[in-house]
Structure 1
Amino acid sequence: MTDSKNTKRAFLASALSVVLCTAMFVGSTFAWFTDSAATSVNKIQAGNLKIALETKDDKTGEWKNVGENPLAFVQLDEDAGKDILWEPGCTYKLPELRIANKGNLALKFKLLVNGLSGTADEEAAVADLAEVIDVYTGTTKNDVADANKIGTLRELMEDADGAAYGVILPADEDDPDGEGGISVEATDGYTLLFHMQEAAGNKYQDMNLDGISFTVIATQYTYEKDSFDDQYDAEANYPQTTNVADAASLENALNNISGVPVTIVIDKDIYQYGKSLSVNGDVTIDLTQMEQVNDKGITVSTITVNPNASLTIDGSWVSGGRASHVGLSGNAGKEGLVASENSTVALNNVHVASSGSSSKLIVAKPGAKITVEGGYYSTSGNPSTVVFADGGTVEIIDGYFRGSGNQGPVFNVANGGQIIIPKAIYNSKVSQTTNQKIPATCQLVEDGENYIIKEK
């Protein structure tokens, strides 16, 4: 595997301002001839750092973004679709992979292998099985050799540098040193082989190694130059990913944000009735690996995203279910998920629900922006509000919204707040027992294919 380099952000800006004044004193009159010339500052254009993990289509030869699709071990045609049962001596490979720079900035990356999460006993079982699975680079059985060995699967899971790391320049750039070790646009393709050691004994029978995943992280690399040198992002840090399995570890992760984006992966149900969580920094909570069972996810009382912070919750909710659940329980008279001043929240395909009378489920404070893209959002207390734009903005792209009880609207706004929702969603995916979608103090303003809910 070829080492590469990488990095993230750059601002390209230039400024020139010229003011020319010319004056002449003429005769005995006091008059000045004047003139001036000026030029504007060139626009400030932020660079774009974007990375992708891609697999090669064996039939077309095209590289495609893996996205959220799980990678599957390659099987012989006659075994396609059958369960893969590991036994000592067997070797399975993944499709050919590469890491691509989809932005316009040089970046450095790491390919991390995740999978050690859960209770201590569950982690120990996974670690034991991963200890007897060796990982190699290559395409054939003959490549299962020491020269191609990266390490055991357990070693890769525990290695902070992951299975691969390097630098990738954007397209059309050249390696300035000409020394190699730097990729342009994308790394070379490579294939990982997984081989169960022949010495693995009966201890490993019936063990299950589930939840293995790859995560590519990237940050800025010292390549672009500002007015002085290329070292302004020399200290750029990687975003962090942490797996949590209980309320204590979740709270600890939220309380130890170190100034870089943090992704918290939750694949075990976390229940802490009456607990209030607080979010600082740039946080993503990943519920996509959660078991697809109703009400599995996080259950607390309130979640507050502090001023200028950012929270994204990613789920895998499907219509008719309640998976990827964020339960806000016991919050009578309270605001559940609150985006404080100038913060941002993105809710992607999750199920958010609250219990308790006179509550507000999702709240955007002044200057805050909440984006909802898919999922299900409901209250069960009377009277309660599902979405409340209290001076902030809520933009709904998709989702189901349901109020309950004989009072309380689904949507409400105050203090100059607004809710933007497609007409199709408002008319077909919003319900309330009394059909009170908005209160009498609000109005629907048509804006193309959207409604804007504002105060009257």
Structure 2
Amino acid sequence: MSNAKNTKRSLIVSGLSLAVSCALLLGSTFAWFTDSVVNSNNRIASGELDVDLLYKTGETYASVQKDTNLFKDNALWEPGYAEAVNLKVKNLGSLALEYRLSVNIVNETESVNVNGDPFKLSDYIQFAVIDGEQIYATGAEAVAAAEAAGPTSIAALDVNETGVLYPDGKGTSEEYVTLVVYMPETVGNEANYAADAAQPQIDLGVNLTATQTPYETDGFGNDQYDADAAYADVYVADTAALMTAIENAQDGDIIGLNADFSLEQQLALDKEIVLELNGKTITIPDNADLNTTPIRVNAGGKLTITGDGVIDATDASDDVVPVSAMGGELIIQEGTIQVDTPNESCVYAMYGGTVTITGGTFVNNSTEDYAYGDGAPLTLNVSNGNPGTITVTGGTFQGRNPADGDDNLGGTFVAAGYQSTQVAENTYIVTPADTTPVISRDGLADALQDVAVAGNKDVSIQIAQDVADVTGIKTANGNSLKVDFGGNTVSVAQPVGSAGTETNGMQLLQGSMVTLKNGTYKPSSSTVQILVQNYSDLTLEDVTLDGTSSSNCGYIISSNCGDVVIKGDTDIIAPAGKIALDVMHWEGTGYEDEGTSITFDETMTGTVDGKIEVYCQRGDQTVKPVEDGGATLTIKGGTFMNTGLTLEEFKAFVPAGYVATETADGVYTVTAE
């Protein structure tokens, strides 16, 4: 799972840069190439989504690391020589995943052959992908297998191997693939580079990406999963690779980063591209070749920036604007853009270009006032003589307040229905109107203090960044609370509750209405024993309640009163052997007449992992199944595992018009009939 729900658990699991070089020596009939693997993020585990890319070394498989050599060191390559590499994709977690293994040219250095003709090495090296772990006794066998599989020149590479892997013991958890690279015997002086020419070189990208998928119908029952999950079409690790990827891109392609690098050439777009920063940094140096608009979207172009990375122009000239819409369309959803200039801004619009900002962080570190007017240095700006438009509905801005609009033309950059709130000196957060942005533990406590006391208060909170070790959330009768986590994670260290029983990460009392959406809430202390103690009318949407960080968290949701509706991509994850859902009708109390219900509606696509208990507490007697209807559980969608229920017991909670299928041992998926 990803901390950012709006990304649909999209995970970059591996990015390999396979450097391939070849030299056909004058008068010789052999060639050589070496390889190196550049891979700082071979394996990323998030929650229980955990995958690994491994290669065969001897008789065993090992994880690909930064300095792994996939091919033989110092191998001499001649026409007809081949090597085969066995790779394994392994699901190490407890969640099903869909993976994609792709191979593409990231960068290529052309050369001139001994005949004086330009050539590309990629036109002469052949490549094949063969399913399974294939072992060849000789290079000739490998070449024959590659030719039978249908090889292609590296220049024409279009490799996209996909598949679904399940947790160990739940289905196929690993798959093998064999890469064969060889030089045909027919290659001659046409690929023999001249003594005074540049050595030809190819950088290949081997990329493994994965997204979580609930157990599917063919193996696990549910084919309605992660419809919005997106893979990058190509991953790049330097300027040359980025330029090549853009040159070859089709409208709508996603280009992802798999390394930090400095931008050495101006990026001018007239295509529709998504740039996935993927936690990496593009540095804008003080380089005149970049002009003052190093990343610009021209008329007819559209650039969407997403992913939690950085575009850093703090060392660039004071006249540089790192990202601009120069007649084109720029959409910024995530990431940080930072500058250090009294003259310019992070983002600029001109020639009718449009900028839409829905999230991200924009920082101008200049300690000087704006050079062409009074006030703080700019974060956003439009041309005075030929302006574009900037519309902001989210994000954090350090410098000039986006609500103040352009320094010369005035107005506001903040869209109608939204507000800009100062949260620190020269720091502003844009959120929907009438919400309180939160960036700290104390800020959350201040925002929540009104709803903890009975009354008639309506409080909306926008979590603007991860917040750790907070005091638990408490609501009282008559109040309404809406928390949008904004794709962020809040961890609770100080539980709340009734005097003497402060063990709850949330205590949502009777008569209150609560909505939690779009993010993660989890314990960060062993003193949190119940993550959500509910007596309210509660809605959960696209939220993760994850108790796995504390083995003492015995309950994720314990509902004794009120109606709970759970929808969308919501995950409820208990520690091993603990309770995910506790639905109790508490007789002989002030909650008896109202009772409680939990409903997973038809939009539910997430996963519940943990025991399910539905019962009536009658004095010291626990009554199951519930006789009086005071505690109900209704399930219309989702995947459920480790529930402690048989399929027949589970089906009791699935209404007419829906079907529960046991898709693996103890794993149940609910879909509409």
Q: TM-score range by the shorter chain?
A: 0.3 to 0.5
- What's the TM-score, normalizing by structure 1? 0.47
- What's the TM-score, normalizing by structure 2? 0.34
Higher-strand-fraction structure: 2
Greater relative contact order (Cα 8 A, min sep 6): structure 1 or 2? Answer: 1
Task: Tell me which structure has the larger Cα radius of gyration.
Answer: 2
